[in-house]
Structure 1
Amino acid sequence: MGRTDSSRSVLPAHRARAPWPYARLDVPALRAAGHRPHPVRQFVLKTRSRCNLACTYCYVYEMADQSWRGRPAAMSAATRSRAAGRIAEHAAAHRLPRVDLVLHGGEPLLTAPAELAAPVDAVRAALRAASPQTAVTATVQTNATLLTPGRLAALAAAGIRVGVSLDGGLPGHNARRLDRTGRPSFAAAARGLRLLARHPESYAGLLCVVDPAQDPVETYESLLAFAPPAVGLLLPLANWSSPPSGHTPPSGRAPHTGPAPQPTPYADWLIAVFERWWHDAVPRTRIRMFEEVIALLLGLPAATETLGLAPAATAVIETDGTLEQTDSLKSAYEGAAATGMDVRTHSFDAFLDHPGMAARQIGLDALADECRACELVAVCGGGHYPHRYRDGEGFRRPSVYCADLQALIRHVAASLHRAAARATAVPGDGPPGPPAAGRAQPRAAAS
């Protein structure tokens, strides 16, 4: 395999904006040296390219990349069928036991209830013919404002679980989540979430972007009011060229290379939530970021692209059939997620040979020198890939949240050490927090 003519067509802009990996990673040489790609396991289907909300911070509509403007509003039946065939082809070639589908947008619930399950049905049908051993899990990521009993019933009948994006469980937390007429959307989202909470078998969880301007414990407790089985806390999409609000590392250097400690407002926020979650007498929800840090500290695998060194395994299929990398890259620059490939003419094996995708599968070799030398690298993994970007340099930098990640990881490690010491001192008296915590010594230093 190798780069196709179509993939080369998007690389000149990439080379100027991001020399790493687009000018400096030789994928054919990488393959000749024996490095084999890891198959795609998660497929994000952009069933809608438009949204009924106009959130002021949205990475799809309000940040650097505006490619949505030239795409069809909805994925056609023909594109859906071609995408399903490519997914089945990939699953058969790699004998995948399971593929994970995510229906995404825009807002995927703009689709009529009768059509909501069509992309998942198409993939299941293609897999039955080409790779019958491959199971399918499916979720839809929504803002919940259009969630109705009819839509929820249609999704449940197809075995599609529902994940919801929300900035907190109070109206004031969601001031930037407006509909297209400028009106607040929280009341409609809350109605959808209350409906979803009555159907836990369909409830995948909540995603919430960290906002240091909001009280962390209040935000956490307010989310619990919607009874989520899991909460995903996300750092805002920012990078060295567009730093996070109120958090500008000096001179563009990685925070841990400076002579003095740097402020860690995002770690402070997360640590406050961690302390409340960790010390809950009865676990009330899972918080994925904390569980992933704990697992990685204990030397266990963690299924995430935001921490650790596991290879990226996600492909995005846009409404027009275009194949893209994870769309959080759109926060970096126009076209950052582009590959020049589509489901009509490219397989997912070809997609894996795109330098942007290959760079996210080579672990330590993709990281900056200071990351490779850091004792926390197995846990942090350099941080979320889009957070490493700097214009004219690319993605071979520490995360712009480096100081925050260090502070959070060390805090969690210290909590694990204390829990392990208590469990050792009083046999049978388990520590607070998740059942696995304290059962093994953390890999990273707690100091």
Structure 2
Amino acid sequence: MQFDALILKVASRCNLNCSYCFMYNLGDTTYKGQPKFMSYDMIDSILEKTKKYIQKYNKKEFSFIFHGGEPLLIEKDFYRTFITKANIIKKELQEVVFRYDIQTNGVLIDEDWCALFRELQIYPSTSVDGTRKAHDMFRVDHKGNGSYDKVFNAVRLLKNQIGYADTVCVINIEEEPKVIYESFKEMQVNSVNFLIPDFTHDNYPFDRGKSEMADWLIALFDIWIKDPNRYKIPIFIGVMNRLLGVTENSSNESTVLVIETNGEIEAIDSLKACGHGFTKSGMSVLSDDLSDIKNSPLGKLYFEDSTTKLCAKCLECPIRDVCQGGRLVHRFKKENGFNNPSVYCKDLIKLIAHIQNTLIDLFPELYSKENIDRMKTDEILKYVDDTCKKDRINISYTDELEFFGQN
């Protein structure tokens, strides 16, 4: 059980009210019982437990990701204090490299915040859903007003003041991929981390008979791969790396540990979409070590077993090693916990097949030499569906996956 980063929820409230947000609008209301801001007193406990964890696992690099809610709601001195104390710990650990990141909705970014990011070497990433149409459809303030103009200006300011602009975009298939792609070019971004929306089997809003998400991503991929001046898109790079065997341990999901404003230790916060209180472990940095998360059922599944303990259908899938079952949150169903394929299963198969076949077209000699055939989406889908109907595999850990069911 290892991870390389802590997500620090320095603020439990937000100045936006995004309708798809797993923190506030997908059924989990535990934030109401959290302090609005992380206290200065919590810093020493977090850093002491981080130091102990790094020494235990001999980590050489470690990241602190400031998050929320909206992390720019907390005062700037909190970051100065945290990083000053963290740098003292880093000197004690000698060869460890610390990285500081912040994920913000961008609304409050101004020249003063940019100056702080430069001063403390904090690397910001801004959430923006591409165009005004796509962004303001969901990312509104508490009065229902869109936030696109403020965020667009914030991204351009970061580019000018810091020299780069990294962004996160929740995919909105109601906007054209080409329009979205070009909008980020206009912002002069360095990267866009496109995220598939965090829906489970219980609240999936799309037509299950179609593969709308795959069709959207395939159109985007074709634009991106042909652009000599493309920006970085991690979802595509991750799939290509796994297809090519470039990064053996490439994962479809970041393995990070979450620390809430009151010091509670939790697994990845996207799992809040599974239900109220779902991520609560009963552990805290005030009384537990970071590695103790493996003693909770959810922590063990997320950190140790999420890519190996898959449902029978996934185990039979011929591209399992590339897909890795998809993200854990997308497998959840109240009826039987995580004993399901991803709700985006068809989309993932179609996307991976398309990327593989594109690589074959780009590097025919390489693939011919390795005797690698083109993937046929329909054949894979039929094989997986037939396997599911036959229920050919009996897995020994069914109870572990279905433990999280809520019926």
8 Å contact from structure 1 (residues 163, 206) kept in 2: yes
CA–CA separation in structure 1 for the residues paired with 2:345 and 2:45:
41
Superposed CA offset, 1:86-123 (max 9, x none): 11110111110010111000000112233334333333
* Counterpart for residue 332 of structure 2: 389
Pair 376,191 (structure 1): closer, same or farther in 2 beyond 3 Å: same
Q: Which amino acid aligns with 1:97?
A: K
CA–CA separation in structure 1 for the residues paired with 2:251 and 2:32:
27
Q: In the TM superposition, what are the counterparts of 1:14-413 in structure 2 within 5 Å?
A: 37=1, 39-129=2-92, 131-171=93-133, 173-201=135-163, 203=165, 205-243=166-204, 245-248=205-208, 262-280=209-227, 282-301=228-247, 305-306=251-252, 313-360=255-302, 361-362=304-305, 365-413=308-356
Secondary structure of the corresponding residue to residue 140 of structure 1: strand
CA–CA separation in structure 2 for the residues paired with 1:121 and 1:171:
41
The worse-fitting range, judged by mean Cα deviation, of 409-418 and 348-357 is 348-357
Deviation at 1:175? 2.5
Pair 202,274 (structure 1): closer, same or farther in 2 beyond 3 Å: closer
Deviation at 1:217? 1.2
* Counterpart for residue 417 of structure 1: 360
Residue identity over aligned pairs, in percent, reads: 27
Secondary structure of the corresponding residue to residue 339 of structure 1: coil
Superposed CA offset, 1:21-68 (max 9, x none): xxxxxxxxxxxxxxxx3x221100011111111112211111111111
Deviation at 1:202? 5.3
Secondary structure of the corresponding residue to residue 258 of structure 2: strand
* Counterpart for residue 257 of structure 1: none
Superposed CA offset, 1:198-221 (max 9, x none): 135453x11111111111111111
Q: Which amino acid aligns with 1:77?
A: Y
Deviation at 1:174? 2.2
Q: Which one scores higher on RCO, CA 8 angstroms, separation ≥ 6?
A: 1
Pair 299,172 (structure 1): closer, same or farther in 2 beyond 3 Å: closer
Aligned residues: 375
Please, what TM-score do these two structures have when normalized by structure 1? 0.79
Please, what TM-score do these two structures have when normalized by structure 2? 0.87
Q: Which amino acid aligns with 1:288?
A: P
CA–CA separation in structure 1 for the residues paired with 2:222 and 2:368:
19
8 Å contact from structure 1 (residues 139, 161) kept in 2: yes
Q: Which amino acid aligns with 1:169?
A: T
Secondary structure of the corresponding residue to residue 271 of structure 1: helix
Q: Which amino acid aligns with 1:299?
A: G
CA–CA separation in structure 1 for the residues paired with 2:252 and 2:236:
12
Q: Which amino acid aligns with 1:403?
A: K
Residue ranges of structure 2 left out of the alignment (5+ in a row): 377-407
Superposed CA offset, 1:208-262 (max 9, x none): 111111111111111221111111111111111111x2233xxxxxxxxxxxxx4
Q: Which amino acid aligns with 1:55?
A: C
Pair 228,303 (structure 1): closer, same or farther in 2 beyond 3 Å: farther
The worse-fitting range, judged by mean Cα deviation, of 326-335 and 55-64 is 55-64
The worse-fitting range, judged by mean Cα deviation, of 399-408 and 47-56 is 47-56
CA–CA separation in structure 1 for the residues paired with 2:371 and 2:13:
44
CA–CA separation in structure 1 for the residues paired with 2:139 and 2:102:
19
